[in-house]
Amino acid sequence: MLAFVACSSPTKKAEQVTMDFFKALNAGDYDKARTYTASEQAEAYVNLMSYFDSDSVKAFSQEGEPERTTKIASSEDHQDTIICYVETTEQQSEPADSADVFKQKVVLTKVDNEWKIVDIPMK
């Protein structure tokens, strides 16, 4: 009897954590986004995103919230660390304006046998 087991590579698992993290951020679910982090720096990143999404900051902006899409551009496996390079595209409200593309490096390590985000450089 042959049994096929679906295996997922460590890189794919880390990429899924990264995508789940950004989906939570883009949806404004900051508590959920924090569950994918395992460092003060990564949590500070979530807190900063939460601050910029707060009503007190939004009151200064006349623009609506742009639609964001996120994708993994590439990944690197360094044994116990995986680096995901993420591209987030913000569509502009005016069709004539070009979309803004933000590139970020996300570093993940295993914590208690789960991939967690430990570093997201803030630019």
Asked if residue 43 belongs to a domain, the reply is yes
CATH (domain of 43): 3.10.450.50
Helix (H, G, I), strand (E, B) or coil at 20: helix
Range of the domain at 48: 10-59+66-119
Of 104, 101, 102, which Cα lies nearest the Cα of 74? 104
Domain count, the chain: 1
Asked if residue 26 belongs to a domain, the reply is yes
Q: What is the mean pLDDT of the chain?
A: 84
Q: What pLDDT shows up at residue 66?
A: 63
- H-helix or E-strand spanning residue 109: strand 100-111
Asked if residue 90 belongs to a domain, the reply is yes
Asked if residue 74 belongs to a domain, the reply is yes
Given CA atoms 74, 107, 86, 29 in this order, what sign does their dihedral have?
positive
How confident is the model over 92-115, as a mean pLDDT?
86
- pTM, full prediction: 0.80
How confident is the model over 26-31, as a mean pLDDT?
93
Asked if residue 19 belongs to a domain, the reply is yes
Q: For the chain, what percent of residues have pLDDT higher than 90?
A: 57
Find residue 108's DSSP bridge partners.
82, 117
Asked if residue 115 belongs to a domain, the reply is yes
Higher-confidence residue of 92 and 2: namely 92
Higher-confidence residue of 115 and 63: namely 115
